[in-house]
Structure 1
Amino acid sequence: MKKVLFKQLPKLNIEKLIFSSLEQALYQAIVVIDEQEYVVWESDQKTMLSRNLMQLREQFKTLDVAETVLRHESPYDEMIGQPTKDSSNRMEVKLDKNPYAAAKWLH
């Protein structure tokens, strides 16, 4: 998968913002630009990862994004007695642009 630096994002047309759930509350930011997925990097050496989804979402709140989703793919089907599948078990849940359930000023 290709990479893009976070500081480049304000200049790009982001079709979709994906928060990929990797493992036990570890999230990775991915963006879709021109129908291709790019992993978001904080710097040339560090991928944008967080154990706090809310904080990760806050970093993207000023960007103009058409769609935001939370993605989960489980590699553990065979560990719970399910047969290995030829197809993906990817699940995406749409998220609101606002990272808060209620307006932040109400907290």
Structure 2
Amino acid sequence: MKQIKRAAVAALLGWSVLGNAALVPAAVHLRDVETMLEFIRKHQYVAMGLESIDLLSLTVFYNNNCEAKFVRSKPSVLNLGRPGPQPGIVFERSTCPLTENNEASQ
């Protein structure tokens, strides 16, 4: 009987840890905004012409119709199907140069 109780307690504790592993949407949004702000700080030309930041499309708008697009990283194969925080976002591309010297977007 003690073994059954121990197994039940262990199972309940295990499920509770997995259930609490995911970040709430507000925390994910804050992390995404921080990543975008870090990008803006790094690229002064983007900062000078900053117009808006769109969290839904993960896009920074700057300098009259220029866009810096971000994408969410793919989860590790080891984490597929498991609860947990979403991967962070990374810069993908921009529709205009990121510097005044017309250097290509990277």
What is the TM-score of this pair, normalised by structure 2? 0.25
Larger radius of gyration: 2
Which structure dedicates a bigger proportion of its chain to strand? 1
What is the TM-score of this pair, normalised by structure 1? 0.25
